[in-house]
Each structure stands twice: as structure tokens, then as C-alpha cells.
């Protein structure tokens, strides 16, 4: 299994496919937010997905993480893989926050930026952590059902009741190497310090911003609209009738939007 060592940790990653590099960064508490993107893009590009420190198969040191740690983990992975060309960088939720800081620190390594269900600042991370504390004694199955209710729109939740295959894919991804309460706490420290509002104008890469109009984690379209207003070369696409997890709700639409955007801006 592919691991590399960095900062005293064993960090796990997935790399599939050939072609231009697409680096996917997952959200808070998630090892892989891209279960319906990885198969699609790996047939068309070289896809790289890191299990962030604190989740999945990567090391989970018990201390508060910082944004600097996360962006340096990403840079260390690209160095480990000896990738010299610019990457298409795509992050969702906390992963989108990491992506913003990464492109600001290492702009010379990024061709395009794709920001999904994210924000330039986040003042409500305690709500996410507190919800996990309330579920500490629940079974994994119960925790998954709560996650479904929070992440997805009502139509998609209804769909999951009849689409067993999709439900099982999402459940298995959640239940394998599950995230613990302390992992959420440690990752949450990163989100609490996130604020790029005064730096967004420095991002010069072509940027695609995607958001579900019924997102109940990062409330309000104004978060994505702010990103669109302040990142000079950016485009905003609103995915109707979807929630925070729109990449799983409407993968065909999302994958096409991202692929078309990349085709317009090749490495």
C-alpha cells in the first residue's frame, strides 16, 4: 500500500490513471470525499488523493493540527511523487480551505483551482465537533445515518432509500477506518483558524467554484459568492437541489463541469 513518510508521520495516498495530474483534497473527518469522482477522472487523468493526517489510513497524532501542516503534507506528497508539472487542485469543504492556503503558498505548482462546498472563513466549526461529541456512544451505523441527514439534500436522502448500491458505497467508505471524536477535534483546530478573505485577490489561477444551493454545513451561498467576487479569474456554478455533499448527489453533472473546466485550462 502506498505510504510516504513526512513530519514523522506515515501518510497514505492513492494514485490512479495517467495524464495531467489532478490532486483531490477531502473534507473534515473524511478520508475520501471523492468516491464518485475517482473512477471517472482516473480514466482521463492521473488522480492523486491523500488521506489527510488524522483520518483513514494515515497517522493520527493526537494534537491540534494547523493549516501549515496540511499544506506542507500536500507539497511533500507531490515531491515524493516527483511531480514537476503544475497540478489541477481540487478541494471540498475543509479540503477547499486547504487548497486555498496551498495555492497561496505554492502558486507555482498549481495550474487550476477547483473549490467545492467551501468558504474563505469558517466561524462555526465548533458545531461540527460538538455534533460528533453527541454521537460518541452511537454505533457507526447510527453515525452514518446522522451524516447522511446533514450532508445531503432531501431528494437524495429519499433516493438512498431505494438505491442500495449508492447507499452501500457511501456507507462502506464511511465505516472503513472510521474517524474518531479526537480526530475531529484535532482537524477542527485547523478550520477554526482559516481566513483567506484578505488574500483571495492574490490567486491568479483559473478557478472553478461549485456549491449546492441547499448546503446546511456551510450555510448560505454568500460564502461561495464571496470567493467568486474576490478571486479574479473565477467562475461560480450552483448545483441546484443538492446539499454539502453534492459531489455524491450529482456526480455526472459535477464531473462534467470539472472536466470541461480542465479542458479549457490544460497543464
- N- to C-terminal Cα distance for the chain? 28
Give pLDDT tens digits for 62-98.
Answer: 999 999 999 999 999 999 999 999 999 999 999 999 9
Give pLDDT tens digits for 111-130.
Answer: 999 999 999 997 665 566 66
For range 132-143, the mean pLDDT: 80
The whole-number pLDDT of residue 238 equals 98
The whole-number pLDDT of residue 155 equals 94
The whole-number pLDDT of residue 124 equals 64
3-state secondary structure 155-219: HHHHHHCCCHHHHHHHHHHHHCCCCCHHHHHHHHHHHHCCECCCCHHHCCCCEEEEEECCCCCCC
The whole-number pLDDT of residue 138 equals 82
The whole-number pLDDT of residue 160 equals 94
Distance of alpha carbon 166 from alpha carbon 156, whole angstroms? 10
**Global confidence as pTM:** 0.95
**CATH number for the domain harbouring residue 31:** 3.40.50.1820
The whole-number pLDDT of residue 267 equals 66
Give me the percent of the chain exceeding a pLDDT of 90.
81
The whole-number pLDDT of residue 186 equals 93
For range 206-217, the mean pLDDT: 96
Range of the domain at 123: 3-264
User: How many structural domains is the chain composed of?
Assistant: 1
Amino acid at each position: 500500500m502506498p505510504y510516504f513518510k513526512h513530519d514523522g508521520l506515515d501518510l497514505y495516498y492513492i494514485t490512479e490513471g495517467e495524464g495531467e495530474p489532478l490532486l483531490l483534497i477531502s473534507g473534515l473527518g473524511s478520508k475520501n470525499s471523492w468516491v464518485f469522482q475517482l473512477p471517472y477522472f482516473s480514466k482521463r487523468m492521473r488522480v492523486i488523493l491523500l488521506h489527510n493526517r488524522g483520518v483513514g489510513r494515515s497517522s493520527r497524532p493526537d494534537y491540534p493540527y494547523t493549516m501549515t501542516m496540511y499544506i506542507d503534507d500536500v507539497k511533500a506528497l507531490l515531491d515524493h511523487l516527483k511531480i514537476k508539472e503544475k497540478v489541477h487542485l481540487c478541494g471540498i469543504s475543509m479540503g477547499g480551505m486547504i487548497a486555498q492556503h496551498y495555492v497561496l503558498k505554492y502558486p507555482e505548482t498549481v495550474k487550476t483551482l477547483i473549490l467545492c462546498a467551501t468558504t474563505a472563513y469558517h466561524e462555526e466549526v465548533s458545531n461540527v465537533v460538538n455534533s460528533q461529541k453527541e454521537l460518541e456512544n452511537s454505533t457507526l451505523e447510527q453515525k452514518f445515518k446522522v451524516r447522511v441527514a446533514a450532508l445531503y439534500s432531501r431528494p437524495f436522502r429519499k433516493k438512498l432509500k431505494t438505491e442500495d448500491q449508492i447507499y452501500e458505497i457511501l456507507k462502506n467508505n464511511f465505516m472503513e477506518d472510521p474517524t474518531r471524536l479526537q480526530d475531529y477535534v484535532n482537524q477542527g483546530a485547523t478550520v477554526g483558524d482559516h481566513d483567506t478573505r484578505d488574500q483571495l485577490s492574490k490567486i491568479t489561477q483559473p478557478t472553478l467554484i461549485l456549491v449546492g444551493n441547499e448546503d446546511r454545513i456551510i450555510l448560505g451561498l454568500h460564502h461561495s459568492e464571496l470567493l467568486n467576487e474576490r478571486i479574479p479569474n473565477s467562475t461560480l456554478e450552483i448545483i441546484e437541489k443538492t446539499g454539502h455533499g453534492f459531489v455524491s448527489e450529482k456526480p455526472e453533472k459535477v464531473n462534467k463541469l470539472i472536466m470541461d473546466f480542465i479542458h479549457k485550462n490544460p497543464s
